[in-house]
Amino acid sequence: MIELIVVLKPETTEARVQEITERLEKRGFRVHHSQGEKRTLLGVIGHPEEGLSHSLEAMAEVEKVVPISRPYKLVSREFSPENSVIELNEQLSIGGKQIVVMAGPCAVEGEEQVLESAQEVKKAGAQVLRGGAFKPRTSPYSFQGMKGEGLEMLNRAREETGMLIITEVIDPHNVDKVARYSDILQVGTRNMQNFYLLQELSRIRKPVLLKRGMSATIEEWLMAAEYLMSGGNYQVLLCERGIRTFETYTRNTLDLSAVALAKQLTHLPVVVDPSHGTGRRELISAMSKAAVAAGADGLLLEVHPRPEEAFSDGPQSLTPGDFQQLMDELKGVASSVGRSI
């Protein structure tokens, strides 16, 4: 299989072409030549090797190196042509016909708030309770989450309501603790390329929801998922949550094409977070419906009993009433694309 094509600059001498070829052959590759009027192309065949593309590009004679095969393996459709359906508990799995709704406050702020949220979102049809105990915040002066105490509050909400829990993990050394208190571990957008954290998460056997980095390409996102799978954790949920663009009217630009693409390139379930993806409450309903129509397997939504009292992300939180109405409206959309919610 040709791994990459090397385009040599027009002025490259035949002697140098020969030298580069021999060098590649010594490293175990086979090389095809294709001589044009001006440029020589080399087709390099063999198993991919660390840094090969880099060391070729570093040569003065090389105009460009074009990779032919894709860098991700285990997450790809070629590895597993069928959709991965990931079991969340005995009753619930994600990646199949059922669209899973994860809802709750951005941050855990107190026992009452968590419990009230859990009851409200459960009543409206959510199956998973979201709530952050550890909050990465732009400012050192902002609320950083209730941490361990917050985990315990989530745990009590789980016991009282029977809901599953999704919560964010930030510190690689805290993975086991967070895993004990939750059913799905969330990797936030700022940590998508925190490779130590990914490595730790690849060793556990719990579902991990991997948010796309706010400026990560789709390929980088899939490579981050590859970290999890290559370390042995196959229970990976991808989550699109908006990318950073020049547009300032919305907090991020929700990239729903990425959902359709990820469903084609990989076998993994894809979740959409319209709350962070837009940052504006008044857009969440339309974007949730669009996400479902685009093929999302799950939604992650911020719902707060009193958004104006939220410690963070109030402007993008739905009230329980809004959420109930949205859930009702989503039923028809889901059904129109052969899904249920």
Touching its own copies, residues 281-310 (CB under 8 A): 281-283, 286-287, 289-295, 307-310
Say if strands 30-35 and 40-45 run parallel, antiparallel, or are unpaired: antiparallel
Angle of helix 111-124 relative to helix 147-161, nearest 10 degrees, comes to 40
Residue 93 has which token pair? Answer: 């799995």
Query: Binding segment for its own copies among 43-51, 92-100, 120-128, 178-186 (CB under 8 A)?
Result: 43-51
Rg of the Cα atoms in the chain: 23
Interacting positions 199-238 with its own copies (CB under 8 A): 214-215, 217-220, 223, 226-227, 230-231
Distances in whole angstroms, Cα of residue 112 to Cα of each of 119, 161, 167, 196, 307:
11, 13, 18, 34, 15
Q: Where are the alpha helices (DSSP H) in 90-146?
A: 111-124
Is residue 125 a contact point for its own copies (CB under 8 A)?
Answer: no
Is residue 56 a contact point for its own copies (CB under 8 A)?
Answer: yes
Reported as half-sphere exposure (CB side, CA atoms, 13 A), residue 281 has a value of 16
Answer for which of 142, 156, 160, 177 binds its own copies (CB under 8 A) is 142
Q: What are phi and psi of 219, to 5 degrees?
A: -65, -40
Is residue 16 a contact point for its own copies (CB under 8 A)?
Answer: no
Q: Work out how close the CB of 83 gets to its own copies at its nearest, in angstroms, rounded to a whole number.
A: 15
Q: Which is nearer to its own copies, 119 or 230 (CB)?
A: 230
**If residue 40 lies in a helix (H) or strand (E), which one and from where to where?**
strand 40-45
Q: What are phi and psi of 47, to 5 degrees?
A: -80, 140
Q: Which is nearer to its own copies, 104 or 307 (CB)?
A: 307
**If residue 35 lies in a helix (H) or strand (E), which one and from where to where?**
strand 30-35
Query: Binding segment for its own copies among 52-60, 86-94, 147-155, 159-167 (CB under 8 A)?
Result: 52-60
Q: Work out how close the CB of 115 gets to its own copies at its nearest, in angstroms, rounded to a whole number.
A: 21
Task: Give dist(CA 16, CA 39) in Å, integer.
Answer: 13
Q: Work out how close the CB of 191 gets to its own copies at its nearest, in angstroms, rounded to a whole number.
A: 7
Interacting positions 86-115 with its own copies (CB under 8 A): none
- Residues that contact its own copies, how many (by CB under 8 A): 108
Answer for which of 312, 323, 326, 327 binds its own copies (CB under 8 A) is 312
Q: Work out how close the CB of 324 gets to its own copies at its nearest, in angstroms, rounded to a whole number.
A: 17
Interacting positions 244-283 with its own copies (CB under 8 A): 244-250, 253-261, 263-264, 277-278, 280-283
Residue 179's identity, in one-letter code, is: A
